[in-house]
Amino acid sequence: MLTPEQVKQMIGNVLPCEHIEVEGDGHHFYAHIVSSQFEGKARLARHRLIKDGLADKIASNELHALSIAAAATPTEWASKAR
C-alpha cells in the first residue's frame, strides 16, 4: 500500500515542482501541485501532464486513485494563499 509521501515522490519524478501536498488513505489520494511547468497550460492540460507521467503506475494499479485538487503555477498558488 502506498503512502502519501511515496505518491508525492512519484509526482516529483514526473515534473519539477515548487510545492506538492498529498493526502490519502493508501488507496485514494488528493494532491495539490505547484509547478512552473503549468505556465500557459489550461487546467486539463496540467492534469494530463501529471496523469500521463504516472500512467504506468495507474495502469499497474499500483496507484489506484489520484485526485488533483489543485494544479497551480507558483503565482496562482501565492495569490490563493492570501
- Give the domain CATH number at 10: 3.30.300.90
What would the grid cell of residue 4 be? 502519501
Q: How far is CA 48 from CA 34, 41, 53, 56, 80, in A?
A: 14, 10, 8, 14, 22
- Tell whether 48 is covered by a domain: yes
> What is the reported pLDDT for 64?
86
Query: For the chain, how many structural domains are there in total?
Result: 1
- Tell whether 82 is covered by a domain: no
> What is the reported pLDDT for 81?
67
Please answer whether residues 79 and 72 qualify as being in contact, where contact means their C-beta atoms are separated by less than 8 angstroms: no
Structural domain containing residue 40: 4-77
> Per-10-residue mean pLDDT for the chain, 82 residues long?
95 97 94 97 97 94 93 94 60
Q: Report the distance separating Cα 60 and Cα 78, nearest Å.
A: 35
> What is the reported pLDDT for 82?
53
Q: Parallel, antiparallel, or unpaired for β 28-34 and 19-24?
A: antiparallel
- Tell whether 26 is covered by a domain: yes
